[in-house]
Amino acid sequence: MKLDVWLLLGAVVVIAAIASVRVAHRSGLPSLLLFLGFGFLLGESGFGIPFDDPMIAQQVGLGALALILAEGGLTTTWSHVRKSVPTAMALATLGVAVSIVVVALAVQGLLGADWRTALILGAVLASTDAAAVFSVLRRLPLPTRLSGILEAESGFNDAPTVIVVVLLSQVGKPVPSVGEFVMHAAMELAIGAAVAGLLGPAGAYALRRVALPASGLYPIAVLALTFVAYGGAVLLHGSGFLAVYLTALILGNARLPHRAATRGFAEGAAWLAQIGLFVMLGLLASPLEMPVDVVPGLIAGTVLVLLARPLSVIACAFLVRLARLDGIDWREQAFLSWAGLRGAVPIVLATIPWAAGVGHAEHLFNQVFVIVIVFTLLQGPTLPYVARVLGVAAEGEARDLDVESAPLEQLNADLLQVKVPQGSLLHGVEVFELRLPVDAAVTLIVREGRTFVPTGTTRLRSEDQLLVVTTASCREQVERRLRAVSRRGKLAGWYGERGME
C-alpha cells in the first residue's frame, strides 16, 4: 500500500483507540485489551493485513516498553514511592526469582514441558506491566505507600526479567547456573544504575541552566535524555530498562522548567506507544492457532495468580520485615498479590525466544497471550472491589499540588502555575494567609473559566489555578510553603509541616 493509505489507516486506528479509552476507563478494564482487539481485527482473521515477523515485533516492542517506562519514571513522585522502594526492590528481585521457580516447577510437572521452556515461561510471566499498573492503579484511591510499591515494582522488575529471558533464549548453550544468572544480572543492573546516576543529575543540571528558545523543546530534551540513558547502558552491556526508568525518575522529580508540560508530553507519547505496541502484538497473534494453547495457558496463569504471585509477595514481605525496613500486613499482601497485572511486557518478552529460534516458542507466545487476556479481564475490573473488601482503599485522599514553572530569564524570576486539587486544605485560605515570601506574589487566578486579579482577602477554592511570580532565589521556598498549606492548612508551621516534596 502507498504511504498515504498507511497514514490514513494509522490515523483511523489511533482515533478509534483514543475513543475506546473512555470505554476502558468507565468499565475498569485496562485499555490494552481493546488495543489488542484492534490488532486482531486488522490481522489475518479480520482485514487480512499480514504480519508474522517476531524479530521486528521484538525490536519495536522493546523500544515501546522503554518509552512507557520513561513515562512511568517521569510521572512518579519520589516522595510517594521513597518509603516503598525497599519492598519494591525485593519484589523486583527476590519476588521475580520466586515467581519464576514456582511457575517453572508447575509447568514442568503439570504440562510436561522441558526445563528450558518451563523456565522461559516463568521468566516471561514474572514481570508486572508498567502500562497496565499505571493506567489502572492511578484511578484507585490507594494509600501512597501501597500504590508506590506497585508503581516502583513495575518500573524496576522489567530489567531483571529481560536479562533472564535473554540468557535462557540462547539456543545451543546450556541453561546457565543460578550463580551465572546472579552475576550476570548484578553486573547489568549495576551498569544501568550507574548510567542513570550520572546522566540523570547531569541532565537536570543542564536543563535548569539552559534557557531554550521554545517551551516545547524541554519535553523533547527530557525524553531524549532518557533514551540516551537506554542506548548508553545497552552499549555498555548494562540494563537499558533500569537506566531509562531511573533517569526518568531523577528528571521527573528535579525542579525543571515546564515540568508539568514535560509530564503531559511524556504521557501522550506513552499512550501512542501503547496503542502501536498492542495493535502490533494483536497483528502478530494468530487466533486460529490459539485453541490448542488455551488449556496450558490457563493452567500456567492460574498457578501464577493463585500460587506464584502470593508466594513471592509473602517471601518479600518477610524479608523486608526481617530487615526492619517496612511492614506489610496481610490485607496489603493480599491486595499486592491480586494487583500484579500482566500486559504488554510478558507478550513482548515472549517474542525474544521466538525470534531466537527456541523450540515451541510460538506456542509459548500463544499461551502468554491467552494468560494476559483472560487474567487481565479477571483482575482489572475487580481491583476496586478487592481494595474495598480488604480495607486498603483510601477514599478522599488529597492529591498533592501540581506546580508548573517557566523561567523568566531576563528578569531572573520564575512564573509558577499552581492548580489547587480536590481535598487540598488551600481551599478556603485567603491569599494573605499564604504568607509567601516578600519576593513572591499571587498575580492571577483562573476560576471556572474566569480570570481575575486577586486581593489579599480573596479566598482560594478547589480547582483554582494560580499564577505566582517569584524571584529565582526564593522559588523553592514558595513551592514548599504552598505544599505545606495544601497539606495542613494555614497553620501548617505549627504542625511541623515544611512542605518538602
Q: 139 falls in which pLDDT band (50, 70, 90)?
A: low
Q: Which residues pair with 442 in a beta bridge?
A: 468
393 with 147: CB under 8 angstroms? no
d(CA 463, CA 109): 57
Q: Which amino acid is at 146?
A: L
Q: What is the pLDDT of residues 267-286, one digit of tens each?
A: 899 989 988 888 888 888 88
Per-residue pLDDT at 377 exceeds 80 = yes
Least confident of 132-136, 231-235, 243-247: 132-136
d(CA 327, CA 25): 32
pLDDT of residue 299: 94
Of the candidates 129, 244, 253, 128, the residue with the CA atom closest to the CA atom of residue 193: 244
Q: What is the pLDDT of residues 54-101, one digit of tens each?
A: 899 899 999 999 999 999 899 888 877 888 888 989 999 999 999 999
Counting Cβ atoms within 10 Å, is residue 211 exposed (0-12), middle (13-18) or buried (19+)?
exposed
Q: 253 falls in which pLDDT band (50, 70, 90)?
A: confident
Phi, psi of 368, rounded to the nearest 5 degrees:
-65, -40
Tell me the C-alpha to C-alpha distance, in Å, between residue 301 and each of 8, 101, 156, 309: 38, 14, 22, 10
Give the predicted TM-score (pTM) of the model: 0.80
* Domains by residue range for the chain, with CATH: 3-48+60-390 (1.20.1530.20), 402-495 (3.30.70.1450)
pLDDT of residue 208: 82
Counting Cβ atoms within 10 Å, is residue 63 exposed (0-12), middle (13-18) or buried (19+)?
middle
Average pLDDT of the chain is 86
